[in-house]
Chains A and B, each alone.
Chain A
Amino acid sequence: MSLTRQEVQKVSLLARLQLTPDELDLMTAQMGQIVAYVETLSELDTENVEPMAHAVEVANVFAADELRPSLDRAAALENAPHHDREFYLVPAVLGE
């Protein structure tokens, strides 16, 4: 099953990536190739196989509810592209 340009465009919005028309063409072709390759997995019968999401079978890892110091606000905001020394700032969003 091959990917259409429109599908790839939809994915680019989901992924929050802006692609130029040329990039979109190339991406469609390359993703199509890779997707075709990974579809070799469909050869395998995995009906009764448990999925393996983790590489280690560890469970019940918790931390105690004990306060640790937070970052100074200046340090927290230091890496932000745009802030007013109190808040992170982003372009206004209407209706959301």
Chain B
Amino acid sequence: MTKPYTVIIGLEVHVQLLTRTKLFCRCSTTFGAPPNTQTCPVCIGMPGTLPVMNRAAFDLALKTAVALNCQIAPFTKWDRKQYYYPDLPKGYQISQYDLPFSHDGFLEISDPKNRFEAKKIGIIRAHLEEDAGKSIHDEVAGQADSRIDLNRAGTPLLEIVSQPDMRSAIEAKAYLSELKLLLTYLSVSDCNMQEGSLRVDANINLHVDTPAGKVATPIVEVKNMNSFRAVERAMEYEADRLWQEWQETQQRLGDVPKQTRGWDDVADVTRAQRHKEESSDYRYFPDPDLVPVRVSEAEIAAARQSLGELPADLRHRLERTHGIKPYDSDVMVSAGRGLVDYFVELAELCGDGKLASNWVQQDVMRTLNEQKIEIEQFSLRPPQLCALLKAIQEGQLDTSRAREVFIEMVASGKSAAEVMKAQGIEKVDENELVELCKELIAANPKIVADIRSGKLQAAGNLIGQAKKKNPNVHPGRLREIVIDLVGKM
């Protein structure tokens, strides 16, 4: 089953930072505005205009870099990356070349399903740069003109370059999920891939086992992956393709120039993209219009202070304090800080982390999903839900009846007690239960015989009959009594 090669993946992620205005001018960064309505002389690159760095963009970038455990450079500068494209109005992109503001960090990933061991993915660097505008090409064979919208031009981007530390498509996806979660927790980006606020390029090659030792195959860059699922599939596809190619060509790293391939989400394949011979000569040089930035230890400390609890720490805390499993903490932490806060309040109120976790993950999250709302907008707050969980804990109702009550609470806005009263739910007296069990045992000798012969699941039939006679009976307790009585017979 083990393959005769190791997959090596590194990812370059671009995220748009959640600033009100662009990186070098004060135009809005709002997505979806009519074309060319969010531009000014600066982001159109008009003659004579000059860039001024957005403080908030730098602060968000700094915060992210600190959260990614990066070293922060005490001195950083801005460079021009020069190439011609119609959506790049100045003929250069302001970016960072040899002195990025942060470098050498890591992000820890783990898999609740244990498909890989928890590991640290190295971050080579994270740097700030401006986004380009959008080019809209004619779908039909390039007959019509291409159209250019500069609304996006100048939006702040953070480029996060990982080490080639991922060894499978699953790890690549886990890294992206963890990164997205971190960025969302930090409120530095909304990471919406559909709107392009998170973009991923991958570098992949194989280290093939040969009798002469490991051999690296040429590195391929894969672009156009529009979802995490697409990244996962593209990496799986490309690893297989690279293996085929190695078997056919035996080409090693350095034998051929780096190839760029695009992922075709419909056909489920990667395709080679046309290579531009001179495109790589970007003629970087320091932008004379922007001054360097010096970051003090105090500013780094302040950024660290502002981070709050990050997803990894939060997961550990939930597992430790509320006794839930890694899988459960992962689901809830991944659902966002608001949901975690909800869970923690509920767990503390009802004193049972597992019960709270089950209800939050199943009923609460399902309802949020159905109503397409965020936890903050959910009408049933933890104290109200806790009243229902208390009733369960006290045996007043079983889970399935509780679910009906929950649905009614959400629909009507009434309290647990009100709904239970309206539905005639009350705790059945213990003696009454015992009497009912005796009645049923007497009337169902065949089932009793089954139970006696060890088929305990046969008790379910009796419970069903009991619920018909009195819907308030607690099935768990009923089952205990039945088995107890039969055992004494």
Residues of A within 8 A of B (CB): 10, 13-14, 16, 53-54, 56, 58-68, 70-71, 73, 76-77, 79, 82, 84, 86-96
Contact = CB atoms under 8 A, between A and B. Distances in A.
Contacts of A88: 36, 86, 147-148, 150
10 contacts: A10-B278, A62-B58, A63-B26, A70-B40, A84-B147, A88-B36, A88-B150, A90-B145, A92-B144, A93-B146
Contacts, number: 125
Nearest to B27: A70
Given A84-B147, A96-B276, 19 more contacts: A14-B281, A16-B84, A53-B77, A54-B288, A59-B292, A63-B26, A64-B55, A65-B19, A65-B54, A65-B57, A68-B25, A70-B40, A86-B147, A90-B86, A90-B146, A92-B145, A93-B142, A94-B141, A95-B274
A94 B292 contact: no
B28 A67 contact: yes
A93 B141 CA distance: 10
B52 A61 contact: yes
B302 interface: no
Interface string B3-40: 00000000000000001110001111000001111111
**Which bucket holds chain B's interface residue count?**
35 or more
B53 A87 contact: no
B283 interface: yes
Interface in B121-173: 135-138, 141-150
A57 B177 CA distance: 42
A82 B293 CA distance: 39
Nearest to A10: B278
A59 B137 contact: no
B291 A60 contact: yes
B54 A92 contact: no
Given A68-B27, A89-B146, A90-B86, A59 B38 contact: no
Contact of B293 (A60, A63, A89): A60
Contact of A59 (B142, B273, B291): B291
Interface of B: 19-21, 25-28, 34-41, 44, 46, 52-58, 77, 84, 86, 135-138, 141-150, 273-274, 276, 278, 281, 283, 286, 288, 290-294
Contacts of A68: 21, 25-27, 40
B293 A59 contact: yes
Nearest to B38: A70
Contacts of B21: 65-68
Contacts of B41: 71
A10 B34 CA distance: 39
Contacts of A89: 145-148
Contacts of A66: 20-21, 26
B35 A65 contact: no
Looking at A54, A67, A87, the one whose CB has the most chain B CB atoms below 10 A away is A87
B274 A96 contact: yes
Contacts of A86: 34-36, 147
